Amino acid sequence: MQYIFSPATGPSGLYAWFPAMHTRVDLLLADRRPKEKLLAIAGEVETLVGHIEKLANRFDPTSPLSRHNADERYPVPDELQEILDSCRHYKELTGGLFDPWYGGPCDLSGFLKGYALDRIRRLLEHHQVEQSVVSMGNSSIMKHGAFLTTSGNDSPTRRHIVSPLTGEYVTGQRTVSVATSSGAVGEVLSTALFIADDEQRRLLLSRFPEAQIIAEADRDEWLARR
């Protein structure tokens, strides 16, 4: 983990970053505690994210998820079982637009960042950190306990999200950002809304009434308001 510490007469700032989950995690803590304490908290965040990645990285053949994918009789840890149960619930709630099992072995890549942010929020609340911002790959952001998650294609040629209902890639340069009270819900809903047609979007938003779609042009304003 690398970091920059900015002391101040009021809350000091610790900006730290480290690689995880095939992306970069950026962490900003503003608090009156000394550098050593903030570094210890940041270290706990890094350890937590590493634990989640080792638990559910399907690209790691030694992870419990990979072993379970290879043999469903493999007993998974309780935490992973809770994650899988949550994903089954969200699959049903989205009418199959969110489906980590589509196309083969379970792939939690589209869920883990949001799940990790939920766990990080609880950790920071436990330590009573005054203010915090956590970004995972710039697409999943937590600011002061609220979440903004973005899914989509950032270029005309990029195609990486497949609709489980049609089996086809979603094409076109567009993104969907959604503000939620849960990072996990943000991951589920941003992906489902990106895939959905107008009727499916209305149904999704009725099932997640606390969620708010944020226009791409308004993302910076939303972040500035928090």
Backbone angles phi, psi at 96, to 5 degrees: 90, 0
| pLDDT, tens digit (0-9, with 9 covering 90-100), for 182-210 | 999 999 999 999 888 889 989 999 999 99
Give the C-alpha distances (Å, rounded to integers) separating 161 from 27, 42, 192, 195.
Answer: 27, 32, 10, 8
125 three-state secondary structure: helix
Q: Are 161 and 194 in contact (CB under 8 A)?
A: yes
Say if CB 81 and CB 174 are below 8 A apart: no
Q: Which two tokens stand for residue 131?
A: 């203010």
pLDDT at 186: 95
- At 46-101, the pLDDT tens digits run 999 999 999 999 999 999 999 999 998 999 999 999 999 999 999 999 999 999 99
pLDDT value of position 189 = 94
Question: What mean pLDDT is reported for the chain?
Answer: 90
Residues 6 or more apart from 77 whose CB is under 8 A from it? Answer: 55, 64
Radius of gyration of the chain (CA): 18
pTM: 0.92
Cα 192 versus chain centre, distance = 14
Which residue in the block uniquely carries the two structure tokens 């309780």? 78
**How many other C-beta atoms are found inside a 10 Å radius of the C-beta of residue 220?**
9
Q: Find the range with the poorest average confidence among 5-19, 148-162, 196-210.
A: 148-162
